[in-house]
Structure 1
Amino acid sequence: MAADYLEELLDIADLDGDIDIDIENGRASVAVVADQAGTPALTRLVGADGEVLEALQELTRLAVQAQTGDRTRLLLDVAGHRAGKRTALVALAKEVCARVRANGEAEHLEPMSAFERKVVHDAVADEGLTSESEGQEPQRHVVVLAPETDTAESTAD
């Protein structure tokens, strides 16, 4: 249903692109990918800092919900924007984890979207540290917590 909705939108906007559908961590993942020369035109569907992409994702969710009656946890990517953002956020999380380990102090990151916070939380967990979100939208951000250094934990290695 999401693919049909997006195909129709691409037709209306006279944009060329293909729809790829996948399941990622139990969540439907839909990507609009460019055919050979379509990449620059598709970036209009991303917008500044992904704002248009976020709105398009929510519209697609609502279209699916209108047809099924169920809320979906659909994740939409256009022209590889989220994939590139994910790579950069994982690298950032690793850098922050290294600093937190080195200085033993929690570190607050800049405000992020829910998607971005989820990527960072997952990457921090993969690094063996913990994180939490603080604040209210649009200032909600991730805090990477310093590892606890009690003797029981340090001898468990």
Structure 2
Amino acid sequence: MNDVTTTPDVSGGADQLKRLEEEGEIAADYLEELLDIADLGGDIDIDVEHGRAAVEIVAEDSADRSLGRLVGKDGEVLEALQELTRLAVQTKTGDRSRLMLDIAGYRAGRRAELVAIAEEAIGRVHASGAPVALEPMNPFERKVVHDAVAAAGLLSDSDGEEPNRFVVVRPA
């Protein structure tokens, strides 16, 4: 079951919105096949958020934890599935996709954790006036932290090389 919702935060007009909705539909088809092959239940919700397609696999039954296998330790399987889904979309459209995939609310929960980590670092920077370096994070996680730091009026940079790239929070 695919539910398509759109949020008004899409720049580029109707053509852009149509393209992003198409990306979501292609991704949903790909992920439905994956769920069938893996013999896993789940509904697929499609949205357009912040100028990109957003697809989420949600459990049909809230007590069902089987989708956790598609998240993996620290979201590693989720990251891999997101890249595979982006490649499936690119194969069909010919364009690179920035699609975001969430499974069983993992990214939403992780986003809340990351905002708390950012707020703690922001407090330390305000108290000491010195930069604070955080633990290595993947690109999604760094983006969440950068957004929280910017909203607090401070500066942040990413330093290091993948997979050990990390955020440094600095005074403004």
Instruction: Provide TM-score, normalisation by structure 2.
Output: 0.83
- 2:11 alignment partner in structure 1: none
1:2 corresponds to 2:27: yes
Match of 2:122 among 93, 97, 100: 97
- 1:19 aligned to 2:53? no
- 2:63, 2:161 → 1: CA distance? 37
RMSD, aligned α-carbons? 0.9
Aligned to 1:116: 141
Deviations 1:80-138 (A, max 9, x none): 11100000001111111011011100000000000000000001111111100000011
> Which runs of at least 4 in structure 1 moved beyond 2 Å after TM superposition?
none
AA of the residue aligned to 1:92: I
How far off is 1:39 after superposition? 3.4
Q: Is the CA contact 1:39–1:79 (under 8 Å) kept in the aligned structure 2?
A: no
1:2-151 → structure 2 map (5 Å cutoff): 2-37=27-62, 39-147=64-172
Q: Structure 1 length normalisation: TM-score?
A: 0.91
Q: Say which SS state the counterpart of residue 55 (structure 2) adopts.
A: strand
Segments of structure 2 that go 5 or more residues without pairing to the other structure are 1-25
Name the aligned partner's letter for residue 3 of structure 1. A
Q: For 1:96, give the aligned amino acid.
A: A
Indicate if the aligned counterparts of 1:46 and 1:52 stay in contact, CA closer than 8 A.
yes
- Distance change in 2, residues 1:72/1:38 (3 Å): farther
